[in-house]
């Protein structure tokens, strides 16, 4: 891991937002899978709920670790990161359709 990333992650002000970063990546990957398999908008929403539940379960698990605690802020930032990742894929899908339409018609 680059040193600047480690320093950023260790800053107390970034404790909650750093949860959003991995969920953003997972949201992107999930969105790509949903695009490839041409899933409905219901599947997109359900995927976001599952990713949010994943963060929630991970936070609950911290209740059983010494010197750790449940943090609702982490759940919120994780849900935001997952949603933003999914949204980026949706925007890319929309733009690719517009570009194809523009180029081929």
Q: What share of the chain has pLDDT > 70, as a percent?
A: 100
Three-class HEC string of 72-101: HHHHHHHHHHHHHHHHHHHHHHHHHHHHHH
Model confidence at 30, pLDDT cuts 50, 70, 90, reads very high
Model confidence at 104, pLDDT cuts 50, 70, 90, reads confident
Can you tell me the distance from the alpha carbon of 11 to that of 104, in angstroms, rounded to the nearest whole number? 50
More confident of the two residues 66 and 1 = 66
Rounded mean pLDDT of 35-45? 97
Q: Which residue stretches of the chain are H helix?
A: 3-10, 20-36, 41-61, 72-104
Place of tokens 């959003």: 20
Model confidence pLDDT, tens digit, residues 74-88 = 999 999 999 999 999
Helix (H, G, I), strand (E, B) or coil at 50: helix
Q: Which residues contact 34 (CB under 8 A, 6 or more apart)?
A: 43, 44, 47, 86, 89
């Amino acid at each position: 891991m680059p040193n600047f990333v480690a320093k950023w992650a260790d800053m107390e002000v970034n404790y909650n937002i750093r949860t959003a970063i991995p969920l953003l990546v997972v949201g992107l990957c999930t969105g790509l899978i949903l695009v490839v398999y041409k899933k409905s908008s219901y599947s997109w929403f359900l995927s976001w709920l599952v990713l949010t539940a994943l963060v929630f379960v991970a936070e609950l698990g911290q209740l059983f670790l010494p010197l750790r605690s449940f943090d609702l802020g982490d759940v919120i930032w994780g849900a935001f990161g997952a949603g933003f990742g999914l949204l980026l894929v949706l925007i890319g899908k929309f733009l690719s359709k517009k570009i194809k339409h523009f180029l081929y018609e």
